[in-house]
């Protein structure tokens, strides 16, 4: 019961902000124009700042965890390689394909990784979670740009050149690049600038959830029922079970080392998927529904995995 309560408490705050955004839109406080400009602010300024300070302020990025880091990178690459040709066979609308692929393989490790790791495994798990985040975040954001840009053009086929250009235009990528440069070179930052930047970065996630709630409509969930059923089952159940089996049986990852890996595999979809869907004119309604319902159902799936892994003595 304690684990269930913890999982619920991890999801409930974000879901409450989404609900508030939904209510504010119905009350006329959030307008369509305000939401559109707010989403642009989140994608172009706030999320790059959030990524930058997450890396810049990392206490320790320890790449001695090389086996586990390589496993997580392998999970990303294998998932994209499998899902990219597979999803278009079941989803015919091009604007939905990139959303489905991105939402199925990318979880919100940036939001869930550190608190869950600290609660379940203490500081050693937090150190490993930080290292995984630093190693995978650039790959996740770069691949996300490539996946979305590959399916963004409705008239032309995927273009590697266009994908590369879009990758370099993506503000989040530059947040990752500058964050790693400042971290590894130990570049100093004036105290006032660090405080101001951190304060601004902290509003990125709640503000994005608020705007998401303002755009949420129940009829879109009904319209996307098939895609949501396939995507949520794949993201929250099928892929975690497969990759957890590989982690334990093949890579022998157990104990406190398995905790951040488990969260990396099982966390609900990342809010940046929704922001990128807007940026690339993909089906942002599907991305928003996927984000909301993955948060809701992850409270139950995370509890199931925590209970099962503990019962088997793996964590």
The share of the chain scoring above pLDDT 70, in percent, equals: 88
Closest by alpha carbon to 183, among 53, 49, 50? 53
Mean pLDDT of 217-235: 82
Mean pLDDT of 67-77: 93
Q: What is the pLDDT of residue 4?
A: 64
Closest by alpha carbon to 292, among 5, 18, 97? 18
Kindly report the average pLDDT of the chain as a whole number: 83
Q: What is the pLDDT of residue 243?
A: 95
Query: Does residue 291 fall inside a structural domain?
Result: yes
- Per-residue pLDDT for 221 more than 80? no
- pLDDT tens digits for 179-214? 888 888 888 899 999 999 999 988 887 888 888 788
The whole-model pTM stands at: 0.75
Q: What is the pLDDT of residue 222?
A: 74
Query: Does residue 315 fall inside a structural domain?
Result: no
Q: What is the pLDDT of residue 234?
A: 93
Q: What is the pLDDT of residue 161?
A: 65
Rounded Cα gap, residues 230 and 289, in angstroms: 13
Could you give the number of structural domains in the chain? Answer: 1
Q: What is the pLDDT of residue 80?
A: 92
Q: What is the pLDDT of residue 27?
A: 92
- Per-residue pLDDT for 25 more than 60? yes
**Whole domain around residue 84: which residue ranges?**
2-305
Q: The domain that contains 279 carries what CATH number?
A: 1.20.1530.20
Query: 154 pLDDT band (50/70/90 cuts)?
Result: very low
Query: Does residue 311 fall inside a structural domain?
Result: no
Query: 144 pLDDT band (50/70/90 cuts)?
Result: confident
- Per-residue pLDDT for 230 more than 80? yes
């Amino acid at each position: 019961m304690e684990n269930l309560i913890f999982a619920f408490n991890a999801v409930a705050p974000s879901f409450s902000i989404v609900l508030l955004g939904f209510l504010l839109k119905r009350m006329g406080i959030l307008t369509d124009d305000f939401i559109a400009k707010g989403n642009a602010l989140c994608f172009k300024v706030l999320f790059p700042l959030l990524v930058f300070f997450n890396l810049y302020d990392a206490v320790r990025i320890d790449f001695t965890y090389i086996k586990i880091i390589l496993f997580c990178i392998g999970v990303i690459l294998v998932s994209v390689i499998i899902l990219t040709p597979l999803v278009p066979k079941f989803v015919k609308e091009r604007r939905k394909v990139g959303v489905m692929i991105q939402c199925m393989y990318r979880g919100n490790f940036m939001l869930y990784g550190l608190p869950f790791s600290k609660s379940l495994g203490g500081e050693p798990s937090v150190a490993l979670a930080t290292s995984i985040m630093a190693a995978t975040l650039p790959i996740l954001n770069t691949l996300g740009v490539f996946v979305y840009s590959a399916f963004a053009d409705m008239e032309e086929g995927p273009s590697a050149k266009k994908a590369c250009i879009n990758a370099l235009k993506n503000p989040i990528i530059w947040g990752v690049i500058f964050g790693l440069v400042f971290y590894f070179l130990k570049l100093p930052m004036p105290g006032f600038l660090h405080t101001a930047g951190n304060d601004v970065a902290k509003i990125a996630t709640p503000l994005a959830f608020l705007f998401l709630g303002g755009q949420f409509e129940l009829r879109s969930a009904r319209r996307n029922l098939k895609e949501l059923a396939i995507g949520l089952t794949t993201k929250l159940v099928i892929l975690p079970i497969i990759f957890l089996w590989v982690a334990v049986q093949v890579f022998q990852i157990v104990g406190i080392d398995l905790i951040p890996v488990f969260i990396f595999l099982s966390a609900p979809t990342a809010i940046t998927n929704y922001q990128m869907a807007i940026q690339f004119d993909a089906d942002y309604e599907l991305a928003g529904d996927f984000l909301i319902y993955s948060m809701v159902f992850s409270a139950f799936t995370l509890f199931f995995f925590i209970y099962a892994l503990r019962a088997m003595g793996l964590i």
